[in-house]
Amino acid sequence: MKALQVSRVIKKYDSDPVLRGVSLSLNPGERAALMGPSGSGKSTLLNCIGGIDRPDEGVIEIGGQSLAGLDEDALCRLRRETVSTVFQFFHLLPTLTVSENIEFPMQLNGVGPRERAERVYDLIQEVGLSHRSGALPHELSGGEMQRVAIARALANRPRLILADEPTGNLDSATGEAILDLLEAVSEKNGVAMLVVTHSPQVTRICRRTLEMKDGRILGQTDSE
Ligand SMILES: Nc1ncnc2c1ncn2[C@@H]1O[C@H](COP(=O)(O)OP(=O)(O)OP(=O)(O)O)[C@@H](O)[C@H]1O
Ligand SMILES: [Mg+2]
């Protein structure tokens, strides 16, 4: 079964479609990069896959489950349990510590306190932030904030992570380290990733690169 299957998705905001029949698929644990000019529809596609927005036509299946039949509650559950998103500007909760930010999605999901504590401990280690667990987001560097966001994205053990410009707000050395981390957590957890980026460096952690233009995927290149 595919981790993600997108078939002929069309999305319009006004009259002109922003997505004009997009199809792609990801196997479990597979990573693909999505590149293309500003305004080509990359974030719109990610929002449709992540259940933040709904397509007008076409089918999106995550782990074999079609999003079309899900009501708002079920979409909300999907966003908590199956798909996680990592953003350019991290979107951490500013009044919560590193540990609390990572714990938060598990609280929403009803994970018990003991298991939450264990998973927070493991995740903080995994992203290399054990020494910063009590810090608040404003006390962290950009790279550290993105590490917290990645740990948080893994908290509920999703099958798919969507990353929208995850290194877009970082200097290149920090961005490289974040790409290494994304690759490592994807390998370790067997989680598939779709990474939107303007940075050609991302191709080194992705087997495939998809080229998007004017709401269509024009082609793909294999890096291996
Ligand atoms: N909520 C919205 N309402 C109306 N138009 C929108 C909305 N969201 C996006 N658009 C339009 O859809 C098109 C695609 O936007 P999108 O954000 O998906 O592009 P992108 O490829 O992610 O660009 P960038 O690389 O700059 O992030 C743009 O023309 C944008 O103005
Ligand atoms: Mg975008």
CATH number for the domain harbouring residue 184: 3.40.50.300
Distance separating alpha carbons of residues 145 and 89, to the nearest angstrom: 9
Q: Give yes or no for residue 99 having a pLDDT over 70.
A: yes
Q: Could you read off the pLDDT of 155-181 as tens digits, one per residue?
A: 999 999 999 999 999 999 999 999 999
Neighbouring-strand partners of residue 5: 25, 61
- Residue 41 CA: nearest ligand 1 atom is 18
Contact indicator for 211, 149 with CB cutoff of 8 Å: no
Give whole-number Cα distances, 75 to 51, 69, 163, in Å.
6, 9, 18
- Ligand 1 pocket residue status of 79, Cβ below 6 Å: no
Can you give the pLDDT at residue 95?
Answer: 97
- Comparing 61 with 201, the larger pLDDT belongs to 61
To the nearest 10 degrees (0 to 180), the angle between helices 113-126 and 172-189 is: 130
- Ligand 1 pocket residue status of 11, Cβ below 6 Å: no
Q: Give yes or no for residue 222 having a pLDDT over 80.
A: no
Pocket perturbation via mutation, ligand 1, pick of 10, 12, 13 by most ligand atoms within 8 A of CB? 13
- How many domains does the chain divide into? 1
For residue 45, what are the domain limits?
4-222
- CA–centroid distance, 208 to ligand 2, in Å, is 19
Mean pLDDT calculated for residue range 3-26: 95
| Region class of 214: left (phi > 0), else alpha (psi between -120 and 50), else beta | left
Neighbouring-strand partners of residue 6: 24, 60
- Residue 45 CA: nearest ligand 1 atom is 18
pTM, whole model, 2 decimals? Answer: 0.93
Ligand nearest to the CA of 212: 1
Q: How many CA atoms lie within 13 A of 193 on its CB side?
A: 32
Q: Give yes or no for residue 56 having a pLDDT over 60.
A: yes
Which of 21-25, 39-43, 77-81, 174-178 has the lowest average pLDDT?
A: 77-81
- Ligand 1 pocket residue status of 215, Cβ below 6 Å: no
Q: Give yes or no for residue 34 having a pLDDT over 60.
A: yes
Contact indicator for 41, 215 with CB cutoff of 8 Å: yes
Pocket perturbation via mutation, ligand 1, pick of 9, 43, 169, 210 by most ligand atoms within 8 A of CB? 43
Mean pLDDT calculated for residue range 110-127: 96
**For residue 97, what are its two tokens?**
């510590």
Ligand nearest to the CA of 15: 1
Three-class secondary structure of residue 35 per DSSP: strand
**38: amino acid identity, one letter:** S
Q: Give yes or no for residue 195 having a pLDDT over 60.
A: yes
- Ligand 1 pocket residue status of 18, Cβ below 6 Å: yes
Contact indicator for 50, 85 with CB cutoff of 8 Å: yes
Give whole-number Cα distances, 222 to 4, 32, 135, 206, in Å.
18, 9, 40, 9
Place of tokens 């998973």: 119
Can you give the pLDDT at residue 212?
Answer: 96
Can you give the pLDDT at residue 192?
Answer: 97
At residue 81 the predicted structure's pLDDT band, cuts being 50, 70 and 90, is confident
**82: amino acid identity, one letter:** T
Can you give the pLDDT at residue 224?
Answer: 57
**For residue 115, what are its two tokens?**
């298991």
- Ligand 1 pocket residue status of 35, Cβ below 6 Å: no
